[in-house]
């Protein structure tokens, strides 16, 4: 379990800063006509220029440094020269960086150009769910408190939260215990303690919560083809509001 303090926290902040920078540059170039591979190359360049390595590249054989998932793709979209972003697309970008022995991990979602109001509501609700989940993640609260507020936020708009994928502890490894479900019941589950580093990452669908994996063995899509949004931060639990290490994008 990733309990960080003092010097380790400073190192993890640095990884978080790099993730933020990569994500900001990737988000800024997400306009009609750009390929998801070009977005990947920009993110990878930022990470490497900052003296970090991409957390995802080679993880369980994942073939890229970032995930760029379009529309009904939930997560783990593999960047490709053939995937061109177009007006109205919902684009989720996920990136992790490893430096000085510590990982940070974050994701943002944007709807490109003239957006369908329902897609915009989905994106706004996903950020709200994540940020309310983060606010609930303080020492003495439980994982169920976090999951419950995320689930309530999504479902209050008629959306659903993906069950098959969850957030995670993070630190010296990209994925550490505990698992952090985006659903649950207040008061249930593990109690959070100061210094625990978590990646909280709701995936919210307009339709049902069920997902499947494409033939590339990575891309996760909604079963019903409905749009899906993803928002993630890496944070450290404190006595009051947690310390968010992957910053603020200014996109929401
Ligand atoms: N943010 C995702 C996660 O925490 C990204 C993992 S992609 C992988 O699970 F390629 F590294 F698997
Ligand atoms: Co993650």
Q: How many CB atoms lie within 10 A of CB 186?
A: 15
What spacing in Å lies between the alpha carbon of 232 and ligand 2's midpoint?
7
What is the per-residue pLDDT across 46-72, written as a single tens digit (0 to 9) for each? Answer: 999 999 999 999 999 999 999 999 999
| Alpha carbons 92 and 111: distance in angstroms, whole number | 9
What spacing in Å lies between the alpha carbon of 56 and ligand 1's midpoint?
6
Pocket of ligand 1, beta carbon within 6 A: 56, 59-60, 62, 67, 76, 94, 105, 107, 168, 199, 201, 232
Considering the chain, what percentage of its residues have pLDDT values greater than 70?
98
Better pLDDT: 250 or 136: 136
| Alpha carbons 240 and 250: distance in angstroms, whole number | 23
Considering the chain, what percentage of its residues have pLDDT values greater than 90?
94
What spacing in Å lies between the alpha carbon of 152 and ligand 1's midpoint?
24
| Mean pLDDT, residues 155-171 taken together | 98
Instruction: Indicate whether 112 pLDDT > 60.
Output: yes
Q: What is the pTM of this model?
A: 0.97
Ligand 1 atom closest to Cα of residue 201: 1
Which of the four pLDDT bands, split at 50, 70 and 90, describes residue 252? very low
Domains of the chain: 6-244 (3.90.230.10)
What is the per-residue pLDDT across 183-236, written as a single tens digit (0 to 9) for each? Answer: 999 999 999 999 999 999 999 999 999 999 999 999 999 999 999 999 999 999
Q: Which two tokens stand for residue 181?
A: 């479900």
| Alpha carbons 45 and 242: distance in angstroms, whole number | 29
| Alpha carbons 195 and 237: distance in angstroms, whole number | 5
Which of the four pLDDT bands, split at 50, 70 and 90, describes residue 104? very high
Cβ-contact 4, 245 below 8 angstroms: no
DSSP H helices, the chain, are: 6-28, 36-49, 117-136, 143-155
Give the single-character DSSP code of 59.
G
Question: Ligand 2 is a single-atom ion; what residues have CB below 5 A from it?
Answer: 105, 199, 201
Cβ-contact 192, 141 below 8 angstroms: yes
- 228-230 vs 220-222, strand pairing mode: unpaired
Instruction: Indicate whether 249 pLDDT > 90.
Output: no
pLDDT, averaged across the chain: 96
What spacing in Å lies between the alpha carbon of 225 and ligand 2's midpoint?
23
């Amino acid at each position: 379990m990733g309990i960080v303090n003092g010097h380790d926290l400073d190192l993890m902040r640095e990884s978080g800063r790099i993730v933020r920078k990569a994500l900001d540059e990737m988000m800024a170039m997400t306009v009609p006509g750009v390929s998801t591979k070009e977005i990947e190359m920009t993110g990878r360049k930022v990470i490497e220029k900052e003296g970090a390595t991409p957390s995802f590249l080679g993880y369980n054989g994942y073939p890229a440094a970032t995930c760029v998932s379009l529309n009904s793709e939930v997560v783990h979209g593999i960047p490709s020269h053939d995937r061109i972003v177009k007006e109205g697309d919902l684009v989720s970008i996920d990136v992790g960086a490893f430096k000085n022995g510590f990982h940070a991990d974050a994701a943002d979602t944007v709807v490109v150009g003239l957006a369908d109001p329902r897609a915009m509501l989905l994106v706004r609700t996903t950020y709200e769910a994540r940020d309310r989940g983060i606010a609930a993640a303080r020492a003495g609260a439980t994982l169920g408190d976090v999951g419950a507020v995320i689930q309530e936020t999504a479902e209050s708009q008629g959306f659903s939260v993906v069950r098959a994928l969850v957030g995670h502890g993070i630190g010296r490894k990209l994925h550490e215990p505990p698992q952090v479900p985006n659903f649950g019941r207040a008061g249930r589950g593990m109690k959070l303690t100061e210094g625990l580093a978590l990646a909280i990452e709701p995936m919210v669908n307009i339709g049902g919560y069920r997902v499947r994996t494409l033939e590339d063995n990575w891309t996760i899509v909604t079963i019903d083809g409905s749009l899906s949004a993803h928002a993630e931060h890496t944070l450290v639990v404190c006595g009051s509001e947690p310390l968010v290490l992957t910053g603020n994008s200014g996109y929401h």
